[in-house]
Structure 1
Amino acid sequence: MGQTGKGQIFEITDMRSPVLSEAQEAALAGAAQADLDFSSKAILAAASKQTGLDDFGSMDFVERLDLWCECVEEDEFLSAVGRAALWSMFVRYASDRLRVEDIWKRHPEILDIEIDRPIIVAGPPRSGTTHLLGLLSADERLRSLPWWEAIAPVPTAEDEPTSDDPNPRWTKAQAGWEQQEAILPMMSYMHEFSPDYISEDIELQALDFSSYLIEWMAMVPKWRDYYLSHDQSGTYAYLKKGLQVLTFLKGPNRWVIKCPQHMEQLPVLYKSFPDATFVITHRDPVGSIRSTMSMSLYASRVLRTKSDPEEPKNYWIDRYKTLMSRCVRDRECLPEDQAIDVYFHEWIKDPDPILKEIYSKAGLPLDEKTVRTLHQYHQDHSPAAKGKVRFDLERDFDLTPEDIRTKFQFYFDRFPVEVEVK
């Protein structure tokens, strides 16, 4: 895979037949020793034991958690590492839900906190949403959700600062990041999860055990169909509650958040945050899908018991089609004075006019100091600065760009997206 380093281009040449590192083999062997009970009863009991709390609030989420567990058990090629990762996630979400419910019961005024005109970024996965979110979060007038806070939104007694550790939550997140880098070193060039990385708000949606989150961790078509056929208003209300709790703990109340999933939930998103500024990114679907499938195939060396390109190929092309068709169908529900479409090919040429329009629609002054801050972030976090992975559709998936692109003519007909991958 080559040497890691600043600004390098990496090739992952063993996608179909991975050569496992010692760290990967050790992780698989260690995880295989665990005996995990994927049932809502076991997960909720583990969360209660961990937190000392037992009030989860409305219990309607248990139906969804039951389905998550059922889907995990039905995924025959999910590895021991994949199972262990999902078990830990489910317990973490249940524990964090307990803490959210506990703090707002003790401080009911939390639900009176206004989430003032948030800036909400949506767009296909792997279309620049992460970079745009990070860029906007560099503006200190806006509140954002760093990874260390996303995975532990309500601090516990163990998270109190000490002279040796001013932020134990950050330290725990750093330990998790180092573990992931050891097991999947190329992932940091595809999707970073370092402590200060600005997280998607999907981490707050997951406290309600919904969203498309677990589609990224396992093959769960039954969950996908359930999620797409059920109204997500309750989960978006829980997202808002999470933002209110975080604002109570540490303001300000003007947020910038993002999740690609919002692209297929625009009516619910608008109903939940009617005064938001909506920033929708667009990119040649081939570029986004190629990246997603490659990331999935790379991770399969530890998350799956086989590295089969047919799995991501059969799942993600169709999944993007659903995501984008819903955006085409619903885009007009957003008021034009509150929404902006951002095109990848224009963004990489010159982001300044786009930033000016975003700030204008958000009603935020864009002064020289802020412009300098945003320019510095853009420079420091560009792929040229940290390195990137070069993906190969034909080598890894036996696909040409046109094999994918022909399925998305409806999207090109609606949005003036420029062909990127040829």
Structure 2
Amino acid sequence: MSWEPPARSAVARQIYAEAEQDRAENPHRYRFDAEQVAQRATRRGEFSPDEFADGWAPALEAFLDSAERDGRLNAVGVRMALQSATGRLTAGARITRCRSQIPAVELAPPIVIIGGWRTGTTFLFRLLGTDTRLHAPLPAELVSPWLFTTPDAPPPGEVSATASQLLHTLNPDMAVVHLSGPALPEECVLGMGTDLRNWGFTSMMRLPSYAEWLAAEDLTGTYARYRQGLELLAHRDDRRFVLKAPAHTAELDHLIEAFPGAVVVQIHRDIVSTLTSGASLFAVYRSTYSDDVDPVEVGRQQVAQSELWLRRAVEARRTTATGAATFVDLDYDELIAEPARAVAKVYAAAGMSAPDDIDGFIDGYHRAHPRNAGGHRYTPEQFGIDPDEVRQRFAFLDEITDAR
């Protein structure tokens, strides 16, 4: 059985059709022009380009060039790409300005969950986020942290509700592969990339040349600015952060530099299952913004990118100075079969006591978050993934898994 893009509802088809008509009638609105994007970010006169995050200009050029040449984007996808670029530039300026107006805040070393795509990172992250001692950021907090620094701050679960509803209207299958919403904690990439350096962009769009460019970039500043955003959130909420993003796997050295003493939890799953499920996730995501998604190409890119990320993680762990970070390795099968045992390991590494009734803690999460969105079915063959070849190619992971 071959992979097929999700079917679109009548409402979604109308939205896409109207966007394509607008692109035909107003092509100037859909140009991948860096100068035009910067002008949009400053048109209200609130900011100047000098206030954007350092290094934004070459990153914007790389992102827009790849989106235009590689993206195969429909009109909705072009809008999303341009709005993402404008929004991230503006966010960088707002964060810098807001930080200059409030006292500095110290952060406790966060718990950071990493690993390949589809390895249980979201489950563990959101489970820990129900512990009232921990702060798992919501989407609005990540995207707009400056909104939550004052006593009259709006409820973060309401700020991004409209955008979330539109996304699920365009592609309901996104809730099947990754349940999301304004009241559900989300991964760090939503709050990163104010300098337009963000691995998260590559999950939503076909951006091979941007990914190649990004792999050679130094993301020290990117992670430092992300910390600044979290410091804004900590101004009125001093709970310890629990964070999550598979993309951190590629940048462990920068993560640890920005968050000294971090407790890094890496989850390991059978590599064929990881890559196949990740390819399915990416294919569904990209089908929201493109009408031309090649599943075999998605699989090939998923294998290559995952190899890059995981090799970097192995090297970073090998070279990280003793005491700079604490690493916890969890097996996916153990996390699913014996979650209490796995969660207890995380709390111990973080120097925190586990909930008194850890089984009740986990059961309560499952009752509050039932998985009723439908099945997520896929096969390696749908994405051109050869299990034997993949296992051989990723044998280097034994350095970590054998040490557990």
In the superposition, the TM-score normalised over structure 2's length comes to 0.88
Indicate which of 286, 292, 309 corresponds to 1:306: 292
SS of corresponding position for 1:265: helix
Q: How far apart are 1:155 and its partner, in Å?
A: 2.0
Change (3 A) 1:42 1:253: farther
Paired residue type of 2:378: F
- Tell whether 2:116 aligns with 1:150: no
Shift of 1:371: 5.9
**Aligned match for 1:65, one of 60, 63, 69:** 60
TM-score (norm 1): 0.85
Looking at structure 1, the residues matched to 402 and 336 of structure 2 have their Cα atoms a distance apart, in angstroms, of: 15
Per-residue Cα deviation, 1:371-398 (whole angstroms, up to 9, x for no partner): 6334411454364x5543122333x335
Paired with 2:121 and 2:396, the residues of 1 have a C-alpha distance of 22
Which structure 2 segments of 5+ residues have no match? 24-28
1:313 to partner: Cα distance: 2.0
Asked if the contact 2:263/2:327 (under 8 Å) is kept, the reply is yes
- SS of corresponding position for 1:155: helix
Query: Over aligned residue pairs, what C-alpha RMSD do you find?
Result: 2.7
The equivalent position to 2:19 in structure 1, one of 24, 31, 35, is 31
> Which residue of the partner structure matches residue 234 of structure 1?
221
8 Å Cα contact 1:123/1:260 also seen in 2: yes
Offset, 1:344? 0.2
Q: SS at 2:265's partner residue?
A: strand
Matched, 1:347 2:335: yes
Of 196, 213, 219, the residue aligned with 2:206 is 219
Which AA in structure 1 matches 2:187?
Answer: E
Q: Which has the higher contact order (CA 8 A, sep 6+)?
A: 1
2:284 partner amino acid: Y
Secondary structure at 1:26 match in 2? helix
Residue 245 (structure 2) pairs with residue 268 (structure 1): no
User: Equivalent residue for 1:296?
Assistant: 282
- 3-state SS in 2 of match to 1:27: helix
Identity %, equivalent residues:
23
Task: Check 1:76–1:65 CA distance in 2 against 1; reply closer, same or farther (3 A cut).
Answer: closer
Q: Which amino acid is 2:244 matched to?
A: K
Contact 1:286 1:405 in 2 (8 A): yes
Shift of 1:281: 1.0
Work out the CA distance in 2 between the residues paired with 1:373 and 1:19. 37
How far residue 302 of structure 1 moved from its aligned partner, in angstroms, is 3.6
The C-alpha deviation readout for 1:97-122, integer Å capped at 9, x for no partner, is: 22212211222x23xx1111211111
Cα offset, 1:349, TM superposition: 1.0
Aligned: 1:281 with 2:267: yes
Evaluate the alpha carbon distance shift between residue 413 and residue 339 of structure 1 in structure 2; reply closer, same or farther with a 3 A threshold: closer
Q: Does 1:180 align with 2:174?
A: no
Q: What SS is found at the alignment partner of 1:356?
A: helix
Does structure 2 retain, via aligned residues, the 8 Å contact 1:282–1:342?
yes
Moved more, 17-26 or 133-142: 17-26
Deviates more, 1:83-92 or 1:236-245: 83-92
Written as runs of structure 1 = structure 2, the 5 A alignment for 1:348-363 is 348-363=336-351
Q: CA deviation at 1:16?
A: 3.4
Check 1:118–1:80 CA distance in 2 against 1; reply closer, same or farther (3 A cut): same
In 2, Cα distance between the equivalents of 1:14 and 1:362? 44
Say if 1:271 and 1:209 are closer, same or farther in 2 by CA, change over 3 A: same
Within 5 Å, give how 1:16-415 maps onto structure 2: 16=4, 19-32=7-20, 33-34=22-23, 35-49=29-43, 52-54=46-48, 56-75=51-70, 77-107=72-102, 109-110=103-104, 113-155=105-147, 167=155, 170-248=157-235, 250-334=236-320, 335=322, 338-368=326-356, 372-381=360-369, 383=371, 386-394=373-381, 396-412=382-398, 414-415=400-401
C-alpha contact (below 8 Å) 1:28/1:302 kept by paired residues: no
SS in 2 for 1:278: strand
AA matched with 1:45: Q
The 1-side partners of 2:5 and 2:263 are apart by 45
Cα distance between partner residues in 2 of 1:412 and 1:217: 30
Q: 1:350-370: CA deviations, max 9, x gaps? A: 011222221111111224166
List gaps (5 residues or longer) in structure 1: 1-12
8 A contact 1:281–1:341 mirrored in 2:
yes
